[in-house]
Amino acid sequence: MNDPRATTLISAADLSARIAASHSLVVLDISADLAAAPLDRDVIPGAIAVGLAGDIAGPSSKEGGNRPLPDIATLQAKVRSWGVNDDTLVVVYDNLSGSQASRAWWTLRWAGHKNVRLLDGGFKAWQAASMATTATPAVAPGGGTATLSAGNMPVIDADQSADIAQTGVLIDSRGAAAFVGEADKPNTGHIPGAISSPSAVNIGPDGLFKSTEELKAGFAALGADGSKPLGVYCGSGIAAAHTIAAMHAAGLDAPLYVGSWSAWSADPARPVEQGEG
């Protein structure tokens, strides 16, 4: 399958058909932090509840930011506990903007599991299609044999992000207010030279990703057409992963600054720019 959109996204109808056909499939319901906010909502039948903080990312740190990369052996053990083999299709979704699920999608691809799809429109699209839901997530079955390896998606660090902001296109995927910053808070604002493009601009009024043509046009308007160095960051590498998913759907690619603003702003030596840029 060479269609980049089809290898990035899956529709609610297609997911329902795959579930009915009993394909080798694992569905993950992604929340920000199940330890801090236990799941209290319906899920797609058969979905396993997963917390981004505890299951997908590593422990937060000043250098790595709020959602750093996980230890690959720890992640592999988690993935195997979900019953994932190397050929298993993994579908991830969340109940919010899609950013939490996008970071799960990105991390699994970074770890070498390419057969992962993001549910277009998330749980809201599933509900809008009048699909069945359940109040009880599935129990992780264990027994998976997936073999993971780090480094299969490109990443950049703070220094590389600073350079791309000056020589190429560094996209800030946070909301506009976070990008602008607050005058009385010197650690707010953005990386000097970055361009504001909130991840939400890639979603249409129906809650689904915009068409491939619209996505390409939007990124081209930012100068993100592959002709210059690209990079994407946000607060802690979550909304940025959503932007990268949109890029992948449009046949583009860009590295993620995983630590993002949470790591950048923790270093007082890093310059900060405020305003609309």
- Give the catalytic positions in this structure: 234
**Amino acid at site 166:** Q
Q: Is the dihedral of CA 62, 63, 69, 74 positive or negative?
A: negative
157-167 exposure pattern, b = at least 16 Cβ within 10 A, e = fewer: ebeebbebbee
Three-class SS state of 187 = coil
Burial of 96 (0-12, 13-18, 19+ CB in 10 A): middle
CA 47 – CA 204 distance, rounded (Å): 26
Question: Could you tell me which residues come within 8 angstroms of residue 100 by beta carbon, excluding any fewer than 6 positions away?
Answer: 30, 31, 32, 52, 94, 238
**C-alpha torsion angle, residues 93, 99, 102, 108 (rounded to 10):** -100
Distance between terminal CA atoms of the chain? 40
Nearest Cα to 101, choosing from 55, 137, 52?
A: 52
Question: Could you tell me which residues come within 8 angstroms of residue 251 by beta carbon, excluding any fewer than 6 positions away?
Answer: 4, 212, 216
